Amino acid sequence: MRIHNLYEDEQGESHWRDIQVDWTEQTIGGPASSRMPASGIIFREMPVTYDLDWHVAPRRQYVVHLDGDALITASDGQSRTIKAGEIVLVEDVSGKGHRSKNAVGRPYHCLFVALD
């Protein structure tokens, strides 16, 4: 399974890459990954007006877009539209950060899985 990864390099520049979640076991319900630690979850509604200027993530976290799309721009200039149902591992917690904007034109919902 492929997920988006927003990370920062040694100079604080944020970039996009794709990472693969590997299936490590076969369960009765189908293939599954290894269990990963998490410290909490946050549900959030993103308003139509959501247009956040340059910022860093408050922590390493997975962001699961449940029912809407966001346009996210890394500091290197590359943008990705994250669609409903897609997942981003956000790791740019210092440095130049990224921009985020509602790209669906209506409120939408996300699930944040904190990794700190």
pLDDT tens series, the chain, 116 aa: 999 999 999 999 999 999 999 999 999 999 999 999 999 999 999 999 999 999 999 999 999 999 999 999 999 999 999 999 999 999 999 999 999 999 999 999 999 999 98
CA angle 11-116-62, nearest 5°? 80
CATH number of domain containing 21 = 2.60.120.10
Burial of 14: CB neighbours in 10 Å, binned 0-12, 13-18, 19+: buried
Write down the pTM of the prediction: 0.94
Domain span at residue 34 reads 2-114
H or E stretch at 95? none
Could you give the number of structural domains in the chain?
A: 1
